[in-house]
A and B are shown apart, each in its own frame.
Chain A
């Protein structure tokens, strides 16, 4: 729901009427942190929460290391070890590394590009709350018997109910849904950051001149946008398998038609870019810190950026190097080996640029620099050992060993070390206080020694099988591919060294926490910048920065940062007073977007996710169906409160009851009322509470203002001429293309595996009697007609025609209703009459789930249409031509749904 009730949901150059949610309470108030949408507050929330998950994941790491203290059974059960290895990986990769970087990004990117805030502040708050609650759901999964025990890669078929111990079934699905919620958070964040960075840069700030940390975030969110959509597809397919088709030979990942291999394709298409998603922000930190403490601009800055962009693109064509030991063919392995070796070259350039900058500059050995230098050294070792894994023949031996564990910890954890450098670097900016330099250096020494004690022995005992809870302690480590014994001692002693290192590394962070906490209350106050050399805009404002970020409208038009009455920052030089810029426009007030709804909506997502984890298959659709009349009634009630009561609101309130009655009747026929309700388990009620409350919250949010005003003078290349919301919608659709594409790609993959022309035969073997083209053709007509009418609604709204706008929207809604009706008739015939069910083989699963995902998009579109109709009735969209944009934004979504069907129709009907 993207409507803006107060400024028409359009690009506004006014501050707008942001009356919802009241003013931002002071920082000492708990309420502030629950309702805030300010990017700096959200950034702090992200960082603190990510550090909490670091501790969570770190404690699990200690448990792993304790278990490996000796070669046989020790403190953990086998299942317990598997859960902990899985959760440790998931927490560190998903809930610590990226979110911590995005805490910094939230705080710094708007400051670095000269924006007041992110483009969609409430969505930003929702990103955070979804992130937090997704992590909470992962934590809850431990209390549902057992959490997911598969390893962070969730390899199939071990990720299926058939292979998961019964005690872990609920917790496993919760963990999978937690990941899906996390992806939702990431996708919303990606849309927000891309829109902001392309549309809200200060005047004169070209894309290429954005500070390097922000550039790294820009490339990271591009990768996130596409990579996480593939993960979401994989998680949705896996959830389908868990709920409807978990047995071997059914569904997706248990299918004989390449099911296990399909998981690895989808997972690593996401998973390899994820490595760079995690590491790029650390690279940005490295670049900023190296510049500041070398006292000069990065050598080869342009090439550094080009190299990062190359890596971001290449990251999507190397994924099968994680699959050398699967059944994929040799030619594709060779291609992937070449692209993998190729991707190391831009990294070489980046590392050389950083090192050469240090050589050319005059290094000041402050704590942030020490951490970054340490991270570069660790990354070099991690990178070189990774090249071994990129070579097919070597990988045959190294795969599944501690060589891999050591390698990726040297890469991932070196990213964490660089981010710690970032904490020290920006701590004075965020808090206004200086940390204790001596304690910072002590932390670095302890962390660096601990890190290497922890991870380097893993190279020595590289032959230890990865993820095993027991290992052979007496075997002497050997040099890879030789019989040369490295040490006569067995594996155990090296694992014990690693365990001691783990405690030293982990314990060093206590020094950091102590240092940062005590420094908060110290008298080491800093002004704009504590560093002798800085080059980005955040250092030109007070520490911490003011609510609205800048003392005036920031502009780089003269080649230097200047404000109306403020300071000027030379490129790569000192912050200094300018004395004012005569032609700058008045600085716009920082809009107040405080709102409870991002928190509430995310909480309802948590309830829904937890509910689904235990929802019985027979009851699966009902919480969602019962929530629809609630949504309809909410439009009536909330709309009447906001726009004044009109007949349309009465109609919505009135219509909700017959809809509820109709659903109740069908429920009664299936399960019996009240008997069926009494038999429903607690997860049914949990889901109902979650979805129901979520529906009402969505309507309420739909009436709130949505975006911040675009600055009058901002750089918008290459997206001039589109509004923020339109760009945001297109960016979201870019992600949705991958989501649907992954579904369609999975279908094509399984069909190729089965033999393309053999597909129909497989379906018939599994119970299909008849699957005519006609229902698909009728639905194609209906969707094309609805696309036509929604574009007419836009045309009529622009002409100011109330009747035309309302009529076209109503016809569009009717077309969508007929589409679903037709689909319902078709599914009843296939599913009930022919007995061709969700788990009736790969042809059935791919058909129902792919067209089902599309139908879900149609339903979401219909709910939005109801909202638009209610608002159009009361004068929105058509009475002011500018407001018609809201219909255009919805139209983009609806046409996209149409386009998807244009491919589903031939693939699932004509060519079936």
Chain B
């Protein structure tokens, strides 16, 4: 069981990362580089999601098979989105 101190540190980090995402767009950090902005901002969301799943949902402490279960869902979503998106490029 993770300590309350660790939970708090994670919470603060998540708040900072969220603010960073908004700030990147507001100050126009990447200018017209849409793809780069997309990758970085969504990349930060992935980091946040993994952190919430790993610590708040205790995925780190569960049998690895639970992670694979969740990953199977994620892979399904990626397959659908990437396949459908690519089909009209």
How many residues belonging to B are interface residues under a CB distance threshold of 8 Å?
51
Query: Interface SS of chain B: helix, strand, loop or mixed?
Result: helix
Question: With contacts A905-B45, A911-B37 known, is A722 near B63, CB below 8 A?
Answer: yes
Contact of B83 among A317, A896, A907 (CB under 8 A): A317
The answer to whether A345 has its CB under 8 Å from any CB of chain B is: no
Question: With contacts A777-B18, A903-B42, A906-B41 known, is A265 near B80, CB below 8 A?
Answer: yes
Q: How far is it, in angstroms, between the C-alpha of A226 and the C-alpha of B74 when the chains are bound?
A: 10
CB distance from B73 to the nearest CB of A (A): 3
Q: How far is it, in angstroms, between the C-alpha of A372 and the C-alpha of B73 when the chains are bound?
A: 34
Interface residues of B in 5-50 (CB under 8 A from A): 7-8, 10-11, 14-15, 18-19, 21-22, 24-26, 34, 37-38, 41-42, 44-45, 48-49
Q: How far is it, in angstroms, between the C-alpha of A329 and the C-alpha of B87 when the chains are bound?
A: 6
Residue interface mask A870-910, B partner, CB < 8 A = 1:
00000000000000000010011001101100110111011
Q: Given the complex, which residues of B lie within 8 Å of A776, measured CB to CB?
A: 22
Does A895 contact B53, Cβ atoms closer than 8 Å? yes
The answer to whether A230 has its CB under 8 Å from any CB of chain B is: yes
Does A738 contact B63, Cβ atoms closer than 8 Å? no
Question: With contacts A226-B72, A895-B57 known, is A906 near B45, CB below 8 A?
Answer: yes
Q: How far is it, in angstroms, between the C-alpha of A896 and the C-alpha of B38 when the chains are bound?
A: 22
CB distance from B55 to the nearest CB of A (A): 8
Question: With contacts A262-B84, A329-B89 known, is A721 near B63, CB below 8 A?
Answer: yes
The answer to whether A320 has its CB under 8 Å from any CB of chain B is: yes
The answer to whether A316 has its CB under 8 Å from any CB of chain B is: yes
Does B88 contact A788, Cβ atoms closer than 8 Å? no
Q: Given the complex, which residues of A lie within 8 Å of B81, measured CB to CB?
A: 741, 744-745, 748-749
Q: Given the complex, which residues of B lie within 8 Å of A230, measured CB to CB?
A: 76, 80
Does B45 contact A903, Cβ atoms closer than 8 Å? yes
The answer to whether A59 has its CB under 8 Å from any CB of chain B is: no
CB distance from B83 to the nearest CB of A (A): 7
Does A719 contact B7, Cβ atoms closer than 8 Å? no
For A751, the closest partner residue in chain B by CB is: B85
CB distance from B72 to the nearest CB of A (A): 6
Q: How far is it, in angstroms, between the C-alpha of A891 and the C-alpha of B57 when the chains are bound?
A: 7
For A332, the closest partner residue in chain B by CB is: B87
Q: Given the complex, which residues of A lie within 8 Å of B83, measured CB to CB?
A: 265, 317, 319-320, 332
The answer to whether A830 has its CB under 8 Å from any CB of chain B is: no
How many residues belonging to A are interface residues under a CB distance threshold of 8 Å?
70
Contact of B18 among A261, A784, A911 (CB under 8 A): A784
Q: How far is it, in angstroms, between the C-alpha of A528 and the C-alpha of B35 when the chains are bound?
A: 66
Does B25 contact A742, Cβ atoms closer than 8 Å? no
Does B73 contact A735, Cβ atoms closer than 8 Å? yes
Interface residues of A in 276-304 (CB under 8 A from B): none
Does B4 contact A792, Cβ atoms closer than 8 Å? yes
The answer to whether A39 has its CB under 8 Å from any CB of chain B is: no
Contact of A787 among B34, B52, B84 (CB under 8 A): B52
Q: How far is it, in angstroms, between the C-alpha of A269 and the C-alpha of B25 when the chains are bound?
A: 34
Q: Given the complex, which residues of A lie within 8 Å of B21, measured CB to CB?
A: 905-906, 910
Question: With contacts A891-B57, A902-B48, A902-B49 known, is A752 near B89, CB below 8 A?
Answer: yes
The answer to whether A589 has its CB under 8 Å from any CB of chain B is: no
The answer to whether A734 has its CB under 8 Å from any CB of chain B is: yes
Q: Given the complex, which residues of B lie within 8 Å of A327, measured CB to CB?
A: 88
Contact of A738 among B26, B41, B53, B76 (CB under 8 A): B76
Q: Given the complex, which residues of A lie within 8 Å of B44, measured CB to CB?
A: 906
- Specify which of A332, A784, A892 lies most central, judged by the most chain B CB atoms within 10 Å of its CB: A784
Q: How far is it, in angstroms, between the C-alpha of A320 and the C-alpha of B86 when the chains are bound?
A: 12
Q: Given the complex, which residues of B lie within 8 Å of A899, measured CB to CB?
A: 48-49, 52-53
Q: Given the complex, which residues of A lie within 8 Å of B63, measured CB to CB?
A: 718-722
Q: Given the complex, which residues of B lie within 8 Å of A317, measured CB to CB?
A: 79, 83
Does B18 contact A895, Cβ atoms closer than 8 Å? no
The answer to whether A258 has its CB under 8 Å from any CB of chain B is: yes
Question: With contacts A226-B72, A734-B73, A784-B15 known, is A745 near B84, CB below 8 A?
Answer: yes
Does A795 contact B73, Cβ atoms closer than 8 Å? no
Does B73 contact A226, Cβ atoms closer than 8 Å? yes
Does A742 contact B80, Cβ atoms closer than 8 Å? yes
Q: How far is it, in angstroms, between the C-alpha of A327 and the C-alpha of B87 when the chains are bound?
A: 8
Q: Given the complex, which residues of B lie within 8 Å of A719, measured CB to CB?
A: 63, 65-66
Q: Given the complex, which residues of A lie within 8 Å of B85, measured CB to CB?
A: 745, 748-749, 752
Does A756 contact B84, Cβ atoms closer than 8 Å? no
Q: Given the complex, which residues of B lie within 8 Å of A781, measured CB to CB?
A: 15, 18
Interface residues of A in 296-351 (CB under 8 A from B): 316-317, 319-320, 323, 327-329, 332
Contact of A328 among B7, B24, B87 (CB under 8 A): B87
- The contact sample of 7 A-B pairs, CB cut-off 8 A, is A328-B87, A329-B86, A734-B72, A740-B77, A745-B81, A903-B45, A906-B21
7 additional A-B pairs beyond A327-B88, A721-B62, A895-B53, beta carbons within 8 Å, are A226-B72, A265-B84, A329-B86, A719-B63, A745-B84, A795-B4, A902-B49
B interface, CB within 8 angstroms of A = 1, 4, 7-8, 10-11, 14-15, 18-19, 21-22, 24-26, 34, 37-38, 41-42, 44-45, 48-49, 52-53, 56-58, 62-66, 69-70, 72-74, 76-77, 79-81, 83-89
A interface, CB within 8 angstroms of B = 226, 230, 258, 261-262, 265-266, 269, 316-317, 319-320, 323, 327-329, 332, 718-722, 727, 730-731, 733-738, 740-742, 744-745, 748-749, 752-753, 756-757, 773, 776-777, 780-781, 784-785, 787-788, 791-792, 795, 798, 888, 891-892, 895-896, 898-899, 902-903, 905-907, 909-911
* 6 tightest A-B CB contacts, nearest first: A741-B77, A737-B73, A745-B81, A718-B65, A328-B87, A788-B11
